[in-house]
């Protein structure tokens, strides 16, 4: 148990190690099962239990992180508040599961899923690997955000539109401005918009501050387009099938 919770450097995370690849494989299998069992999950009782269960997993994961940071002596208002995109997306995704508000889905699908997938592929947890708590929490919280939004897609039938991309991008930039002000007031670095993260990351290749912020904007928008692409393709295919044969 001590090894599970204790802060330390005895087990360093390695990108695409066996543990990392197996975790990603388990995550992919969960998505496939979610898609295959989408019809039973629409049953009223099962649907409610599933949504509440996912809600509790997301909220407990965030609360447990705050508790661990406090217990380990790492907690600080300058860097531990749930203001990073991963935390705010997790919280909003949890609320989405209960409220089913489409406006929340537009934000959490693009911002939450986009940032979570990138984080899972290149995790910023260099000091912790399986079976440490931080490793397990990282993938449950990020993976849970993706699963919550895909639940709304596969089970509830939610679909983003082209306008959803712009609305999500607008809200993302509005939130970034707010966080920039917060960082200035408390000398923090939420969303890494005040300076680059200490650990090596993609941001290291995007130029100096503040220019890497513009690069991140471009990456975010491209990510939004990629996430929308399957819905665009399906929409085009359905439109073609709906046309009368003599109008083709």
Give me the DSSP letters along 97-136: HHH--HHHHHHIIIIIIHHHHHHHHS-S-TT--TTSHHHH
d(CA 18, CA 218): 32
Rounded to two decimals, what is the model's pTM? 0.92
| 238 domain residue, yes or no | no
pLDDT on residue 245? 57
From first to last of its 248 residues, the chain has per-residue pLDDT tens of 555 666 655 568 888 999 999 999 999 999 999 999 999 999 999 999 999 999 999 999 999 999 999 999 999 999 999 999 999 999 999 999 999 999 999 999 999 999 999 999 988 787 788 889 999 999 999 999 999 999 999 999 999 999 999 999 999 999 999 999 999 999 999 999 998 876 667 787 888 888 999 999 999 999 999 999 999 999 989 888 876 655 54
| 119 domain residue, yes or no | yes
- Judged by DSSP in three states, 92 sits in helix
| 97 domain residue, yes or no | yes
pLDDT on residue 248? 47
- Maximum Cα–Cα distance for the chain, whole Å? 71
| 245 domain residue, yes or no | no
| 14 domain residue, yes or no | yes
- Residue 124 to residues 2, 120, 147, 151, 198, Cα–Cα distance (Å): 22, 9, 20, 26, 10
| Short-list 221, 210, 119, CA closest to 169 | 221
Q: Which CB contacts under 8 angstroms, 24+ apart, belong to 14-23?
A: 14/129, 15/122, 15/123, 17/129, 19/129, 19/130, 19/135, 20/123, 23/130, 23/139
Which residues form the domain of 129? 8-232
| 73 domain residue, yes or no | yes
Number of domains into which the chain is organized: 1
| 21 domain residue, yes or no | yes
| 85 domain residue, yes or no | yes
pLDDT on residue 197? 78
């Amino acid at each position: 148990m001590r090894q599970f919770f204790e802060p330390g450097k005895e087990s360093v995370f390695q990108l695409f190690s066996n543990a990392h690849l197996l975790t990603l494989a388990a995550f992919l299998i969960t998505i496939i099962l979610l898609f295959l069992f989408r019809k039973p999950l629409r049953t009223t009782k099962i649907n409610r239990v599933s949504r509440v269960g996912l809600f509790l997993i997301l909220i407990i994961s965030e609360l447990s992180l705050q508790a661990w940071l406090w217990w380990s002596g790492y907690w600080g208002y300058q860097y531990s508040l749930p203001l990073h995109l991963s935390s705010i997306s997790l919280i909003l995704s949890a609320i989405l599961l209960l409220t089913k508000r489409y406006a929340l889905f537009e934000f959490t699908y693009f911002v939450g899923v986009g940032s979570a997938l990138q984080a899972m592929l290149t995790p910023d947890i260099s000091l912790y690997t399986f079976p440490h708590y931080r490793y397990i929490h990282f993938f449950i919280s990020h993976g849970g955000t993706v699963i919550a939004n895909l639940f709304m897609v596969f089970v509830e039938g939610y679909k983003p539109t082209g306008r959803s991309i712009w609305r999500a991008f607008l809200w993302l930039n509005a939130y970034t401005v707010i966080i920039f002000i917060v960082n200035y007031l408390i000398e923090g670095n939420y969303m890494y918009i005040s300076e680059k993260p200490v650990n090596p990351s993609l941001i290291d290749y995007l130029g100096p501050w503040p220019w890497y912020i513009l690069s991140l904007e471009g990456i975010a928008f491209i990510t939004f387009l990629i996430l929308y692409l399957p819905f665009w393709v399906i929409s085009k295919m359905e439109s073609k099938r709906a046309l009368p044969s003599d109008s083709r």
